[in-house]
Amino acid sequence: MSARSERNRLKDELERARRRIAELEAQLARHGRDALTGVLSIEAFRTRLGEEVRRARRHDRPTALVILEVDAIAQIHRDHGFDAGDKMLRTMIVALRDGIRPGDVLGRLADARFALLLCDADARAAHSCMERLRGDLERLETGPVRGVPVSIGIAPFGRSDAPIDLIERAGRALADAQAAGGGRIVIADATDPSGADVVAEIHRRDAVEALAVALLERDRYTGEHSESVVEMAGTVAKALGLSPAQVEEVRQAALLHDIGKVGIPDAILNKPGPLTPEERAVMAEHPVIGERILRSIGGFAGVAAIVRHEHESYDGRGYPDGIEGDQIPIGSRIILACDAYHAMTSDRPYRARMSDADAFTELTRCAGSQFDPDVTAALVAHLYYERAGRPAALP
């Protein structure tokens, strides 16, 4: 077959594929389905919402409307292209479907905005479900996209609510979640449609402060060490291009990364000399203990995951799970390097502090084995320019 014939054959196959895609999209539209994700279209979702609201009122059953939107979708499209963004949305929908019940209803309202109707679920159950799903999405990886941060608004159904009331209140709650920095959940107050309930977010901030104080009281070095790591970790996260919501999550995890040490015996935690192998095994439990503590608090699923893995090494030789490379949450990789630098340059009862220059050398030597090379480069650049008295240049 000649080259021209081969090109014509491929051209014909491509045209047939395009026609088939167009036919499938038309079929989906006729059945009220979104062509990209396969969930209900906005029109079909509104119809189904009206049906479920009437059913909830008739049978006096709890129902909640959730509206979620991917944070920084424009940046994902700009950095990775529309195809990568579309693939990410399709993967996200699979994760959402896997995490809800068959009777729940999922629809697409806009480019990266989706609605989820949770039947037989009150505000508390809806929040618990979405907190779990939000954590799952934060860890989702699709091609070059690492993690899918979302903002979420929840409107519990009230007997006097019309469908449009639920949509408006869930939309306002979503807007409050986004205004607070994104990557979080806000529940609209069903008894006060004039505004969303942001008390849950205030409670989360209070919980962070309370845990930080508890850690400081338990072990002053560990508490002060964590506070010092926060600013370094936040600066490195910004330098690596993380979103504001992700930066805030990294800062919270940095402040609380050693919270699991509250469960370590004093004899081990305050031992003035090196630990025995048995004592090191007990100490190595603190990331898992920290994760359990944080997962018991609403809104901390993402922070808990970072804390669990903040002692994982880039080459897979860390703990507790021995994961490697990009499998490790980026926040964990950032905190590991910042934590190591601060520990190396701090005086301890059993050893003197290391000089900044020697610490830089050690960080660089371990880049690619213990530490993420990109994180190491950003941290060393920040520290170098900070020591030189100039603002850090972002890569």
In a domain, 21, yes or no: no
**Model pLDDT, residue 215:** 65
* Of 65-79, 118-132, 166-180, 194-208, the least confident: 194-208
pTM (2 d.p.):
0.52
Please state the rounded mean pLDDT for residues 157-167.
88
Q: What percent of the chain has pLDDT over 70?
A: 79
Mean pLDDT of the chain: 83
Q: Which of 172, 197, 222 is the last residue of a domain?
A: 197
Pairwise pLDDT comparison (119 vs 272), residue with the higher score: 119
Residues 78 and 193 in one domain: yes
Domain boundary among 197, 220, 243: 197
Q: What average pLDDT does this structure show over 68-93?
A: 89
- Is the model more confident about 202 or about 71? 71
User: Within this chain, do residues 333 and 247 fall inside the same structural domain, yes or no?
Assistant: yes
Residue pLDDT, tens place only, 262-320: 888 888 877 877 889 999 999 999 999 999 888 877 678 889 999 999 999 999 999 99
pLDDT tier at 191, thresholds 50, 70, 90: very low
- Burial pattern 66-98, b for ≥16 Cβ within 10 A else e, equals bbbbbbbbeebbeebeeebbebbbebbbebbee
Query: Do 188 and 248 share a domain, yes or no?
Result: no
Q: Are residues 218 and 367 in the same domain?
A: yes
Structural domain of 217: 203-387
67 and 147 in a common domain: yes
Q: Three-state DSSP class for 11?
A: helix
Nearest to 250 by CA among 260, 242, 239, 258: 242
Q: In this structure, are 266 and 137 located in the same domain?
A: no
Looking at residue 345, which CATH number applies to its domain? 1.10.3210.10
State the Cα–Cα distance between residues 154 and 185, nearest whole angstrom: 8
Q: Are residues 216 and 282 in the same domain?
A: yes
Would 3 be classed as within a structural domain? no
- 158, 177, 197: which is the final residue of a domain? 197
How many domains does the chain fold into? 2
In tens, the pLDDT along 309-350 reads 999 999 999 999 999 999 999 999 999 999 999 889 887 665
* 119 and 213, same domain (yes or no): no
